[in-house]
Amino acid sequence: MLRSSLTRVRLFSAMDGLSFLVLIGIAMPLKYVAGDPTFVRYVGVTHGVLFILFVASLFHASMRYQWALKFSLFCFACSLIPFAPFWLDGKLKRLKNHSNALS
């Protein structure tokens, strides 16, 4: 399943995006409204690990497929904006479907 560099980028992007939404949508409100920082600690670490895996897989894919720096930076920027990783997944899926070089 994870043999393709592009598949790893898509997977880690989605997981990072989901962990980011849980962090800002659930854990942070629990910390500041309920006064319980426990969830921020665990979700924050999980998000950090997933972010590092995403960046590493993005770097590998950009080298493997010789993506332009502009496109790689665009993919990276999508990881910083809530919900953007899910939009990026559609773009990366179409990229895979339209290019035999990526299989």
Share of the chain above pLDDT 90, in %: 85
pLDDT band at 99 (very low <50, low <70, confident <90, very high): low
- Residue of 21, 75, 4 lying closest to 29 (CA atoms): 21
Mean pLDDT for all residues in the chain: 91
Average pLDDT over residues 68-81: 96
pLDDT of residue 3: 81
Tokens of 12: 């880690």
Average pLDDT over residues 59-63: 96
Question: Is 70 exceeded by the pLDDT of residue 101?
Answer: no
